[in-house]
Homo-oligomer: A and B are copies of this chain.
Amino acid sequence: MKVLIIGGVAGGASCAARLRRLDEDAHIVLLEEGGHVSYANCGLPYYIGGVIEEEEELLLQTPESFYRRFRVDVRVRNKAEKISPETKTVTVRNLEDGSCYEESYDKLVLSPGAAPFRIPVNPKAASRVFTLRRVEDCRKIRDMVTAGKYRSAVVIGGGFIGLEVCENLQKEGIDVSVVEAMPQILPPFDEEIAEILHGCLRDHGTALYLNSKMEDISPSETGGCVVSLSGGKQLFCDFVVMAVGVRPDTALCREAGMELTDRGSILTDENFLTSLPDVYAIGDAVITKNRLTGMPGMTALAGPANKQGRLVADILCGRKTIPYPGVLGSFVIRLFDRTAAATGINERTCRQAGLDYAKIYLLPYDHATYYPGAEQMVMKVLFEKKTGKLLGMQCTGLSGVEKRVDVFAAALHFGGTVQDLEELDLCYAPPYSSAKDPVNFAGFVGDNLMQGISRFWYWDQMPERGGENEVLLDVRTPEEYEDGHLEGAVNIPVDELRERISELPKDKEIYLYCQVGIRGNVAQRILTQKGYSAWNLSGGYGLMSRIGKA
């Protein structure tokens, strides 16, 4: 069996190594357009910031080491230019000498990845505008940083790569502006969670331009760039990093007559077989099914790409028949001291998919508050209203965030419910968690909602001020109330509520809140049991103040 693999990074390299372990006699050729194979593409932003100090650390394998270990014929700077499915050959250009040759295959595995999208700019400024895909791109930006004379940069695009580059440039003392065309950064997060991250960036000195389309980049008089934004604003900087998303690198697939989506992603069956016989495709260039909605989408994440590479090797060797389950899209990003992570689908997707969902917000601590260093996080949990089936979770905080997201991702994998979250037997000691872990707590709150024990109102449903049918009630202490409260709220501390309950009108809706929702729950339960129609603010004043609503 001769297997030709196009693309030698996450998916392609994983596939080649696994293939060799399964079949010592296979003939495996791996073509990579760039100068490196199996490099740490997720590490590139950290090389820009000098966190990863040596370029060599990014190179997990060299063509030589890969050959020695796996007897894979790795050819870097060799670009596949044409697939001929009828003859089962690929036309390859050697980028070193420009020569072309034909390479045959029994099985072809495409792992071409996705290329950064480039918005056209004034060509005179082009030498100061960078994108990030390969080690070579990274080195160019690193050179700008280490030159020592450049002080400011504009990052176009508030996605994962843009923000990781932003953090790393700032770490090196460069002033950074982030320009994002949408109203929020990181679209996998819902807007209110993104708003917390906006605050994090601003707190760390990032100039953030949301709802701002980059119109042009032209050279400035001082040799730098002028970035013109929609609305007329101009940003002056020494250089620009453009990170406005990626497009599947599939021109040669289209020419070969392969079925693609309108945006160029490769369509495959559940075993990664494309529309061309004996041609498989994996990684960022492939459309994958969302495990929860079943809806197809583009996933540019290293985890799925690596696992798909391994799976396709199993499939080629007849080892696997289980159809690929699809992706949850779990991800995590570090923003300065903060972690933000999520799994499953967000509220926007729930709405688009027409799901009858419920949501809750929690502000738990990463570990027991009596143990030093406890950090508060914000969690948003989505689940099906009727069944309790989990749909997604978003979380941000300084510590313990990715642990809860991973536990949640495991629950999603198994089709778990909020009731399952209640029962999870997670490990506990004071430095690590609480006896009721935040994930358990999400289960308690979700189950309370499903059972009708809890009734919530939400940050985007502020009661009408002075409304004739509504009372806004703050059940925190007078001291907390004085420090800041929602406009129009009256204050009755939860511990006085039973005595002072007659101060509240029974014929109005009571919208109450505390700091995070726990005392509010007690208050709502008291009022509900005494015949009031009461609603507790999910996430409390703590959420409101973090998202700029208080």
Contact = CB atoms under 8 A, between A and B. Distances in A.
Contact of A426 (B57, B409, B453): B409
Interface string A420-442: 10111111111111011101100
Contacts of A451: 319
Contact of A416 (B342, B368, B414, B525): B414
Nearest to A494: B69
Contact of A343 (B304, B427, B429, B495): B427
- Count of identical protomers in the assembly: 2
A244 interface: no
Interface in A279-308: 291, 301-307
Interface stretch (A29-37, A177-185, A253-261, A398-406): A398-406
Contacts of A23: 529
A10 interface: yes
Given A52-B370, A372-B52, A427-B341, A68 B422 contact: no
A272 interface: no
A330 B427 contact: yes
A343 B427 CA distance: 8
Contact of A21 (B341, B420, B521): B521
Nearest to A23: B529
Contact of A334 (B68, B160, B429, B439): B429
Given A403-B402, A525-B21, A10 B435 contact: yes
Interface in A377-426: 402-403, 405-407, 409-414, 416, 419-420, 422-426
A306 B306 CA distance: 40
Contact of A303 (B51, B426, B529): B426
A276 interface: no
A371 interface: yes
Contact of A402 (B329, B372, B433): B433
A494 B43 CA distance: 28
A24 interface: yes
A522 B21 contact: yes
A522 B69 contact: yes
Given A302-B428, A427-B402, A433-B402, A371 B52 contact: yes
A71 interface: yes
Given A406-B403, A435-B10, A428 B495 contact: no
A409 B435 contact: no
Contacts of A25: 529
A526 B68 CA distance: 13
A432 B332 contact: yes
A445 to B, nearest CB: 12
Contacts of A332: 427-429, 432-433
Contacts of A58: 370
30 contacts: A21-B521, A21-B525, A24-B526, A42-B430, A42-B435, A46-B371, A57-B370, A60-B370, A68-B495, A69-B519, A303-B436, A303-B437, A306-B435, A310-B444, A319-B453, A322-B419, A328-B425, A331-B427, A331-B429, A332-B427, A332-B428, A332-B433, A342-B427, A343-B425, A406-B437, A406-B439, A409-B426, A410-B411, A413-B420, A414-B414
Q: Which 5 A-B pairs have the closest CB atoms?
A: A414-B414, A410-B410, A332-B427, A328-B425, A24-B529
